[in-house]
């Protein structure tokens, strides 16, 4: 991933505090409605996970900031979309501790199941079986806490063939299926 930290944005800048205040206002208004409707909100972490992009602050660029988001309005409806790749790219934290922290709270609604090499600002996406994340270890953590959410393959590299995106996704889904079978044994 290439990042140009000096690039300027076109929108007026908000402070980190203003951004969190806006999120709190939004969650206080929307979570009760989501609860009534039986819906779970599941925000994705900032991708790329940088504190600021084009002069704008970001909300969830480190694993601990997911907890800040959850603590604003504790509710089953205020959940997380846990992106393995993005959380692993973050400059701080341990991916396995982060998975355990949030799955143990029942806070993960669904998970983007993808792999990467490196951390910001020097990282790149890989095939699901080639990255830094031990995917079996992640599945075992999810299994230990009886995770019943959804795993979604994400950002699969394309292959050189007639259907590059489809082939990459088919590989990821087949790999995920094999891992799940291995973990159930």
Domains of the chain: 16-184 (3.20.20.150)
Q: What is the pLDDT of residues 61-102, one digit of tens each?
A: 999 999 999 999 999 999 999 999 999 999 999 999 999 999
C-alpha Rg value of the chain to the nearest Å:
17
pLDDT at 137 over 60: yes
Q: Note the pLDDT of residue 83.
A: 97
Position with higher pLDDT, 141 vs 10: 141
pTM: 0.89
From 138-142, 159-163, 172-176, the region with the lowest mean pLDDT: 159-163
Which residues are within 8 A (CB) of 162 and not within 5 positions of it... i.e. 6 or more apart? Answer: none
- The answer to whether residues 73 and 31 touch, using CB atoms and an 8 Å cutoff, is yes
Distances (CA, A) of 30 to 18, 58, 81: 18, 20, 17
Read off the pLDDT of residues 13-42 as tens digits, 9 standing for 90 and up: 888 999 999 999 999 999 999 999 999 999
């Amino acid at each position: 991933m290439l990042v140009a930290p000096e690039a300027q944005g076109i929108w007026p800048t908000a402070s980190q505090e203003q951004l969190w205040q806006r999120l709190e206002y939004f969650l206080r208004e929307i979570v009760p409605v989501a609860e009534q409707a039986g819906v779970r909100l599941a925000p994705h972490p900032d991708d790329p996970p940088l504190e600021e992009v084009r002069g704008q602050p970001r909300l969830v660029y480190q694993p601990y900031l997911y907890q800040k988001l959850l603590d604003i309005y504790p509710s089953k409806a205020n959940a997380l979309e846990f992106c393995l790749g993005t959380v692993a790219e973050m400059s701080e934290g341990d991916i396995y501790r982060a998975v355990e922290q949030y799955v143990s709270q029942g806070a993960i609604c669904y998970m983007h199941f993808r792999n990467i090499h490196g951390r910001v600002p020097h990282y790149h996406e890989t095939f699901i079986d080639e990255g830094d994340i031990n995917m079996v270890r992640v599945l075992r953590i999810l299994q230990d806490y009886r995770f019943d959410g959804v795993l979604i393959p994400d950002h699969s590299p394309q292959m050189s063939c007639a259907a590059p995106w489809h082939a990459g996704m088919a590989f990821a889904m087949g790999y995920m299926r094999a891992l799940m079978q291995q973990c159930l044994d």
